[in-house]
Amino acid sequence: MAVPWLVLLLALTVFFLGVFVWAVFEHFLTTDVPATLQHPAKLRFLHCIFLYLVTLVSLLSDCYHGLCNYLARETDSVLLMIGYRKVPDHHSPALFQDCMNASIHFLKALETYGVDASRVVVCGESIGGAVVAAITQALVGRSDLPRIRAQVLIYPFVQAFCLQLPSFQQNQNVPLLSRKFLVTSLCNYLAIDLSWRDAIVNGTCVPPDVWRKYEKWLSPDNIPKKFKNRGYQPWSPGPFNEAAYLEARHMLDVENSPLIADDEVIAQLPESFLVSCENDILRDDSLLYKKRLEDQGVRVTWYHLEDGFHGSVIFFDKKALSFPCSLKIVNAVVSYVKGI
């Protein structure tokens, strides 16, 4: 296992260094700093950083464009990629609302786009998987809209209750999604002060009666034993912190934790394709959601990658930066969509 991770770290280092070198060259080749300006070196440095960050954002956005283009081409499908308002200017529930509104608009206009109303598939990766799960649940029972044929969830984040599941402990420092980064991103999106980060990690922001209500779905006992063999320590939440709960309670809403939806809703969900990666803190979210779906009679196709890690799918077409698991995920999704 050590060699692949060293290769990953080396590849990422070369990538980020290469982008920065490009930003520096771009600055000196295209930028004119007036001689009368004070502290020109400081301005040049800041502009290089600016170009670096803008370029990174552009490259990462293109990653999803390339992925969506590939999926549309290989499955011979009409594909809608939804843009949404982002932090730091917009917080929850902007992401859910934007994706929900776009989805409803699309479902009402399928004929305009030449889409078969009986073959609509929704797909999301990471936080996108969480949004897809929440939207698919919210659309249950909507008689004015076509029924979703299937949902594809690629290592989704489906619960914010327990960040001490086996995979959270085992993979808390594994690239590209550490537990610290996940919690920081969660706080930023939900507008929760970062001073409550430890309370979220330790589960002290969840009232005891809420734990008891949802423990049957969130318990590590629902994770197969083979996934707990590597460095997992049994855990229970610390003393309840009411102040933390008042600050962070909205993270326990079903829109942000679709795993806790009522059985009646789960039972009406469409068949699902779930992707999980062994070296991912969100591995167990997929396993728990898989069990929830199956317990309510929903057909689930599960695809697990022993060599996979969070975010790997976006590198599928990046040549030297690609990984075997990247293309495996994309091909598995294509195969599933074409088979339904």
The answer to whether the beta carbons of residues 267 and 241 sit under 8 Å apart is: no
Question: CA 73 to CA 67: how far, in whole Å?
Answer: 10
Give the pLDDT band of residue 33 (cuts 50, 70, 90): low
Q: Name the amino acid, one letter, at 170.
A: Q
Half-sphere exposure of 222 (CA within 13 A, CB side): 21
Helix (H, G, I), strand (E, B) or coil at 281: coil
What mean pLDDT do residues 28-55 have? 75
Per-residue model confidence (pLDDT) at position 287: 98
Tokens of 281: 């803190």
Tell me, yes or no, whether 72 lies in a domain. Answer: no
Question: CA 119 to CA 110: how far, in whole Å?
Answer: 11
Pairwise pLDDT comparison (170 vs 35), residue with the higher score: 170
Per-residue model confidence (pLDDT) at position 2: 60
Residues 135 and 206 in one domain: yes
Tell me, yes or no, whether 171 lies in a domain. Answer: yes
Residues 96 and 125 in one domain: yes
| Residues carrying an active site annotation | 126, 280, 310
Tell me, yes or no, whether 302 lies in a domain. Answer: yes
Neighbours of 302 (CB within 10 A): 14
Question: CA 223 to CA 234: how far, in whole Å?
Answer: 12
Residues 323 and 230 in one domain: yes
Residues 49 and 92 in one domain: no
Give the pLDDT band of residue 41 (cuts 50, 70, 90): confident
Residues 52 and 87 in one domain: no
Pairwise pLDDT comparison (5 vs 103), residue with the higher score: 103
Tell me, yes or no, whether 71 lies in a domain. Answer: no
Tokens of 255: 């829109």
Pairwise pLDDT comparison (298 vs 51), residue with the higher score: 298
Is the peptide bond preceding residue 207 cis, with omega within 30 degrees of 0?
Answer: no
Half-sphere exposure of 86 (CA within 13 A, CB side): 7
Residues 82 and 57 in one domain: no
Per-residue model confidence (pLDDT) at position 13: 79
Tell me, yes or no, whether 66 lies in a domain. Answer: no
| 5: pLDDT strictly greater than 70 | no
pLDDT digits (tens, 9 = 90+) for 119-135: 999 999 999 999 999 99
Calculate the average pLDDT of the chain.
Answer: 91
Give the pLDDT band of residue 60 (cuts 50, 70, 90): low
Residues 173 and 135 in one domain: yes
Question: CA 259 to CA 285: how far, in whole Å?
Answer: 8
Give the pLDDT band of residue 38 (cuts 50, 70, 90): low
Give the least confident one: 4-8, 107-111, 133-137, 259-263: 4-8
pLDDT digits (tens, 9 = 90+) for 147-157: 999 999 999 99
Measured over all CA atoms, what is the biggest interatomic distance in the chain, rounded to whole angstroms? 72
What mean pLDDT do residues 27-53 have? 75
Per-residue model confidence (pLDDT) at position 86: 87
Residues 19 and 97 in one domain: no
Per-residue model confidence (pLDDT) at position 3: 61
Tell me, yes or no, whether 70 lies in a domain. Answer: no
Residues 120 and 195 in one domain: yes
Nearest residue to 304 via CA among 280, 276, 324: 276
The answer to whether the beta carbons of residues 123 and 154 sit under 8 Å apart is: yes
Tokens of 164: 């001490």
| 1: pLDDT strictly greater than 60 | no
Range of the domain at 19: 1-32+39-61
Question: CA 106 to CA 109: how far, in whole Å?
Answer: 5
Tally of domains in the chain: 2
What mean pLDDT do residues 4-12 have? 67
DSSP bridge partners of 304: 276
User: Dihedral of the CA atoms 302, 253, 145, 95 (nearest 10)?
Assistant: -90
Residues 50 and 86 in one domain: no
Give me the CATH number covering residue 228.
3.40.50.1820
pLDDT digits (tens, 9 = 90+) for 211-243: 999 999 999 999 999 999 888 999 988 899 999
Tell me, yes or no, whether 47 lies in a domain. Answer: yes
Length of the chain: 340
Residues 55 and 148 in one domain: no
Tell me, yes or no, whether 18 lies in a domain. Answer: yes
Per-residue model confidence (pLDDT) at position 322: 80
pLDDT digits (tens, 9 = 90+) for 189-207: 999 999 999 999 999 999 9
| 76: pLDDT strictly greater than 60 | yes
Per-residue model confidence (pLDDT) at position 8: 63
Give the pLDDT band of residue 48 (cuts 50, 70, 90): confident
| 297: pLDDT strictly greater than 90 | yes
Residues 262 and 186 in one domain: yes
| 187: pLDDT strictly greater than 60 | yes
The answer to whether the beta carbons of residues 37 and 43 sit under 8 Å apart is: yes
Per-residue model confidence (pLDDT) at position 29: 84
